[in-house]
Structure 1
């Protein structure tokens, strides 16, 4: 054999060996990939309520940073999710969840009971909502600072500016305006605080009367008689660009605005005394509300961002309002305020959320998609309350204004 022939044979042998080695390597690599299982951060054998709560803790390890914040803040979204968390804890006794709730209060309330980032002079109803966290923790911890912070929030309610007929302004910077949002932000706290911490019967009765008055006024000023739906905001002065010059109402029926209102009714009824004359009125309002909301439910079980505009171009099936309506109906039936037929509506809605809006990552983290990130009226830049305004606000996943109500709906339906 010539030297060249030997060289050719040697090369062929080397190439053959390399080919076999590559094949083996590919096979091993494939086997290794197939054997890798992603660790489940959130176990999938838990109920949806606990799965979503643990997912929230994973997304926002500090509750003070809920709502995608880069700095701690005392705000309503924290109170909403932690209110849901407290119910999951009572259901599961998962210490991780209790610690998450406590750590928020511990971080945001100093040793003297001052609330960090909160300003009483802003007279902002949104800031009352996280008081629910303190109402939950104080009986368990007896930490005086939590009681003092609650007293501060109660003092805000006693000094909150009002419309001429007694409706709380949404914020001092929004004079003469009542928004549906405000009833959920303030009234459940105010009612429970009166029941559990006000000893003077006359003062207590006045608070109950004030709370019921807010529902009476929002029904009077914001409810559309034809559809039964309620407009997002009402401006007594009729000066806002978004306000109808005859009625003072904003233009549209916003899904989450109506969602806040429904949750406000079922939650306030937890604490309003059985013998208060306003209790039956709120239950009547709730039944009228349920009837109107059911009429605009989509066949998917979900609700549209602008409730009565269906699949008009730009409108979309929205998660936060859908979760809030589901919770309101489920709790309303469970408590005996609504007829049993609304449990079917709630279950249909819940199935719609699971089928269309929930996604689960490989590691078990649960996401709630298609949430309206924010919507309001007025301000700077100016929000005009138009259809285009509502459908063009940011849409995102895992907004706490959706995850909190989803958790509470899951608990009410025991899913």
Structure 2
């Protein structure tokens, strides 16, 4: 190859790297957040389209991504991000404060997460309908069914069951509500959700948490002695970790459960280090079985772990070395999962689309074979939202 041709090739590759903004340097993390937000808004011109939706829906994925987009607005001051989220709230929340597609008596804990986006919108607009909408979701959790120990059921249609996913769906919303409304007893209830999971779903052998627990021990997926599901699913553990670091934003500094919750986070952060893929630094769909055929490196759980490491270290809950570990893992995440499309948008690959337990149709038995059988897709909101948020954390 001639020197001139080699020089041209080097220049071309450098230009391509510059055009693709996925920079591993900390100072470029905000650019990563902005580009991912812009890309997802382009993919979903209306926010109700998030999560590949074909019709209006009030659900946790919408709240997760729009929370991250509101954080981009807060960081940049660019009102297009606020307007995108406000348009969704304006569409979904009726003039009397009721919410389209939402029924509190369904007792579906997933629906509560989206309520978080209403706090900043209410603060900016002062519209009474958003007060009413927030209160509707708070009211659901006043009467939401519980286990004998006080943990919320995942849904009414999943009686006596606690899933790790549900900790994120209600906990941060309720903690923020408690702070905004000075409801002190609610802080203790939120803390109980975290500590009760430690009591029932923790595995001392691995330091990980099982996906679900059936107090009644009636589900086919549950162990007849413990009620636990059989495997560790990375995203469910990620939801639990994110719920902890986000709840701690609001839990009073002198709350009696705060030291215990921070200890739970520290314990889990350390346990997860043992299960990283040594080559890529990422985590597998079934957390502890990376060696089994069919298991794969999964992007939603991985970014949730990175978020919890980085935020936990920045807030002082974790040793400061987790900040450096988190930064390195973030760079590895970019290399493993993030790509630029031909149209200039950016994507996240290898996302598990969904996973659950039980159900009436196509019963989900919690087996290894089940977890690896669920569809894998790009740009799932459970990766996009945390990626934007952790990118903004790195640009503090």
Q: TM over 0.5, yes or no? A: yes
Structure 1: 5+ residue stretches without partners: 1-40, 199-203
In 2: Cα distance, 1:349 partner to 1:389 partner: 28
SS in 2 for 1:367: strand
2:332 aligned with 1:352, yes or no? yes
2:140 aligned with 1:160, yes or no? no
Correspondence for 1:78 among 52, 55, 62: 62
In 1: Cα distance, 2:388 partner to 2:178 partner: 27
Aligned partner of 1:20 in structure 2 is none
The structure whose Rg is larger is 1
Mapping 1:83-162, distance limit 5 Å: 83-162=67-146
Aligned partner of 1:212 in structure 2 is 191
In 2: Cα distance, 1:208 partner to 1:51 partner: 36
In 1: Cα distance, 2:146 partner to 2:203 partner: 23
Aligned partner of 1:175 in structure 2 is 159
8 A contact 2:145–2:156 mirrored in 1: yes
Aligned partner of 1:227 in structure 2 is 206
Aligned partner of 1:386 in structure 2 is 367
In 2: Cα distance, 1:166 partner to 1:43 partner: 46
Q: CA deviation at 1:375?
A: 0.3
In 2: Cα distance, 1:238 partner to 1:253 partner: 18
Q: CA deviation at 1:311?
A: 2.9
Aligned partner of 2:9 in structure 1 is none
2:342 aligned with 1:362, yes or no? yes
2:302 aligned with 1:318, yes or no? no
Deviation string 1:121-171 (CA, Å, 9 cap, x unpaired) is: 110110000000101211111010011000000000100001111110010
8 A contact 1:42–1:55 mirrored in 2: no
Runs of 4+ in 1 over 3 A off after TM superposition: 41-46
- Structure 1 residues 42 and 93, CA gap change in structure 2 (3 angstroms): farther
8 A contact 1:332–1:338 mirrored in 2: yes
In 2: Cα distance, 1:311 partner to 1:304 partner: 9
2:387 aligned with 1:406, yes or no? yes
In 2: Cα distance, 1:384 partner to 1:290 partner: 28
Correspondence for 2:220 among 235, 238, 241: 241
Aligned partner of 1:285 in structure 2 is 264
Deviation string 1:322-364 (CA, Å, 9 cap, x unpaired) is: 1100111000001010001112221222112111111102332
Aligned partner of 1:295 in structure 2 is 274
8 A contact 2:235–2:304 mirrored in 1: yes
Q: CA deviation at 1:51?
A: 0.6
In 2: Cα distance, 1:311 partner to 1:49 partner: 33
Deviation string 1:241-286 (CA, Å, 9 cap, x unpaired) is: 0001111110111010000000000000000011110111110100
8 A contact 2:222–2:230 mirrored in 1: yes
In 1: Cα distance, 2:254 partner to 2:102 partner: 35
8 A contact 2:115–2:134 mirrored in 1: yes
8 A contact 1:79–1:133 mirrored in 2: yes
In 1: Cα distance, 2:325 partner to 2:21 partner: 29
Aligned partner of 1:33 in structure 2 is none
CA RMSD of aligned residues (A): 1.9
SS in 2 for 1:317: coil
Aligned partner of 1:309 in structure 2 is 289
Aligned partner of 2:10 in structure 1 is none
Counting matched residue pairs gives 374
Q: CA deviation at 1:318?
A: 0.3
8 A contact 2:21–2:32 mirrored in 1: no
Q: CA deviation at 1:216?
A: 1.2
8 A contact 1:43–1:364 mirrored in 2: no
